[in-house]
Chain A
């Protein structure tokens, strides 16, 4: 498939596609980090995670409208506000969902999977009732348009660089919270030994709810980033859920660093392949490779050997 390209053209293609894949990487990574935290720490499979992402996308869409109507002068700033609005909305809905449903289903991971699928159907229908079945898109603010020119054949889109920087910041904050903050310590304590953590005065119920809300909030930020590569429809989240689960499993569910590496390799291979074949075949090829590797190495890429 590389016939007819010179070596330098190929380099340019891979660099450009690689940067084009950065937004996809960001969406995958933010989605997967949320899923991995929720699954890795609580053993809950959240099939409605895609709908949380879409919630963030709709929030971004709403924020852009509010800005256009009320503050047209500072329209360019809407995206920064939208990120915060999306994160808060996602976290609030996640908090509610954990309280209403998830906490009754701990230790039954397969059942949470089915129940949250039901949640995802309901959310989709709610989105359809409120925003309509048609896809909506947002206008990019001026400062996110255009590209940095690195050479004659290589240019980087500004929005890609911005979203990538945002993702890097959020991932760093999450890793920092998990491994350096008091809250992260509590989460890890609850995971390892719930009764003991309880005896040490940690409120496990509260930690669970916080964790779930955090995972959902991060997914909604992914939704804000998503508005830059696609338009938002009620069922758009479902298209990403399988890929995201694969990202988590492929990375090794216990390893947040593994999640980053796996999100990067999957999004980059998909983005690079898209130049040479149709989008759907690129996806088939990528997912097949991942599933094939998982058949041979089901524990994922990164896993600790543990004493059971």
Chain B
């Protein structure tokens, strides 16, 4: 055997140091070879069989218990219950019902606990970290599960509400899910849209225009600024970025009033620009863009410089294609905020108002509109959530570099 083959033979498959030590110990014969662990598929099969057996027991127990209950209900005087099962005939004392109820309760507990155990075993990554206790994992998963249900409940509630016919909104006790689900609320909404003062499509076009132009300009302007801030060291750059970071805290509320005055001086009130231009300069976009451009290797840009590319060309053909996740992310953040703008303070002409504003007006129509309002709620809610689900892997990639260094 050549030397190469020997090294190949004893080469460990891992670079993990703890496992490496373990592997060396095995080679020296200090630790015995571990038995291979059960595969996930086999574990799932065994768990399912055990659960099925337990479930059968539960059904049988339930059957007997309810049988005894019925017997007692029919002849209250009886002391014993005749049981006929296949070809076994025997009598049971009526007192045993409490035992059966107790067994039933115990079985339910066992099934729930075992089910949880099996699910956790299946969820856990194949190679567990060595310093994790099983009970800690169990507690964390339980807590995650409970909190996740609490978080999602109001959202489910509003989706369920939009499917309720009007009379089910006012029943006691109220239910979360409708007993007769209909799409009436959505069709009513379409009817109401048809009756609005300006054609409803106008609102939609307004919002789409604002969102498209605002997002496009924001991406271009913010990434141009981010490019020089991240890749060049020039006087004033660091200070400027520091101001932008502080501006992450300027919410629309703090700047709302002077902004109104400034816009009215510039004659922008009651035009789309009053919404679009501030959106161009949103600090969060510049911030995220700069942080993710920072991770690009500087050598790439220096090489392009040596080849004689202009700054703009470097920006457009080298940097921009390499930060695709970042611009997807800022597109999404920008779309989300523009889609949700109500803009009631800066736009007065009815035909220039946004979709969210018009839907809000429909929603404000009182008790008779309860169902339609719920439908509106679902539509407004689903758009940003869908966008997020479709793009979440890119967003998370960008957010990985979102940290603030002090």
Please say whether chains A and B are actual partners in one complex: no
Residues in chain B within 8 A of chain A (CB atoms): none
